[in-house]
Amino acid sequence: MTFSFQGKKTLITGACGGLGSGLVKGFHENGAIVYALDVDEKGLEELTVKFPEIKTIVADVSKWDEVKKTVEQLGPLDHLVNNVGVFVPTSNLNVSEDEYDK
């Protein structure tokens, strides 16, 4: 099944990881205007080598003010793929509230 995201503004967080870069590729190849967000500036530069048309944003989604400012600057979005995540080396049953929020 093929989807068209032609001209749709799409923000992808965690864009430099394996899944994130795959999402960037998929949305880009299906016509989306891709905004790739990550804390990894070098990784974002590498993404633009593969996909020169994408727009990159260096930001840390754990910092609310950075995210708010970024989203306000982008204006209305058609799609958000909240792909960012962190690894907490503990059992899911023992994770603290702070670790969960991170």
Residue 56 DSSP code: E
Helix (H, G, I), strand (E, B) or coil at 95: coil
In a domain, 3, yes or no: no
Question: Which is higher by pLDDT, 26 or 89?
Answer: 26
Domains in the chain, number: 1
9 backbone dihedrals φ, ψ, rounded to 5°: -75, 120
Q: For the whole model, what pTM was predicted?
A: 0.85
Q: How far is CA 84 from the centre of its chain?
A: 6
- CA-nearest of 46, 48, 5 to 28 is 5
In a domain, 1, yes or no: no
The CATH number covering residue 86 comes to 3.40.50.720
Q: Which domain holds residue 81?
A: 9-101
**Torsion sign across C-alpha atoms 46, 48, 88, 65:** positive
Band (1; pLDDT cuts 50, 70, 90): low
Q: 1: which 2 tokens?
A: 């099944």
Band (2; pLDDT cuts 50, 70, 90): low
